[in-house]
Amino acid sequence: MVESVHVVHAAVVRDGALVGEAGDARLVTFMRSAAKPFQALPLALEEPDLPSEELAIACASHEATPEQLRLVRAVLERAGAAEGELACGEEQGSKTGHNCSGKHAGMLLRVRRHGWPREGYEQPGHPLQAELLAVVAGAAGVPPAGIPTATDGCGVLTFALPLEAVARAFARLARRELPGSEPVVAAMLAHPEIVGGPSAADTAVMQARPGVIAKRGAEGVLCAALPDGTGVALKVADGANRAAGPALAAVLRIEELEEKPLFNSRCEQVGRLFPRWKNSGPLFPTAM
């Protein structure tokens, strides 16, 4: 019995050209946390002595494991900042527990180094956010004025781009064409368990295929960069994060991740989530 169907759109870019798609590769969507590796580029460029695991937590949507929380606190200490200065909300009873706290701690470190005001660092008018908008625009090959922005779940800017442009940005990241990309890619490859966590789709993809970097975002966004310079960006149309992992696994042909078991509250497998292609159109991860 098919119980749910999730429509997925995807774009695959190599050497600057669209080489594969499912559904609408020009669908405009917010990058959400998939932007974090790009938001960490200036940090990596100007903090060459930052340990790779601390750079990884700045790229992370973490699951608040003890090691991840330790790294957030380490970056905060470098920034000379307290937990209360993080602009993200609380999760699991603290701001460090928020899955974006590593990114925010990295932002506070950059603010300190530049002597920018700490208060309001998350606001669109702050020099930090203007800088990061320019970084994302440059990576995607789009003028900053051409990128609609909104407020992300953690309070900072999120960027709306066509999937093809997002895939192009990840392709450039894979080719180390962007300033700061070498240490960011190296940190993500060395610490996939920090970038996501035990149940995160991006961590699972990186562990299954060493050499591939992956980054997920809210509302069903998942992106990847391959060692050969291929960039992939996908969006689950209904925002269901559970469908993104199997969809990316199908695009990358990671067979062991294409099917996701579904469990009930008794830890019994009661179904499965799997991808199927429909009429050469969108990818449809289907729950049964």
CB-based contact 244:29 (threshold 8 Å): no
- 110-114: average pLDDT: 95
- Report the CATH number at residue 246: 3.40.710
Tokens of residue 112, six digits? 């300190």
d(CA 116, CA 145): 23
d(CA 271, CA 41): 41
Which letter does DSSP use for residue 286 in this model?
E
The boundaries of the domain holding residue 259 are 4-287
Only one residue has tokens 């509250």, namely 265
Q: Who has greater pLDDT, 92 or 251?
A: 251
Question: Is pTM beyond 0.85 here?
Answer: yes
pLDDT band per the 50, 70, 90 thresholds, residue 277: confident
Which class for 95: exposed (0-12), middle (13-18), buried (19 or more C-beta within 10 A)? Answer: buried
d(CA 24, CA 164): 9
288 pLDDT exceeds 50?
A: no
Specify the number of domains making up the chain. 1
pLDDT band per the 50, 70, 90 thresholds, residue 203: very high
Average pLDDT of the chain? 95
Tokens of residue 208, six digits? 């299954």
Closest by Cα among 59, 18, 25 to 42: 59
d(CA 169, CA 233): 9
- 81-99: average pLDDT: 96
User: Pairing mode, if any, of strands 157-162 and 28-30?
Assistant: antiparallel
Q: Which amino acid is at 216?
A: R
State CA 16 to chain mean position distance.
21
Which class for 244: exposed (0-12), middle (13-18), buried (19 or more C-beta within 10 A)? Answer: buried
d(CA 147, CA 138): 11
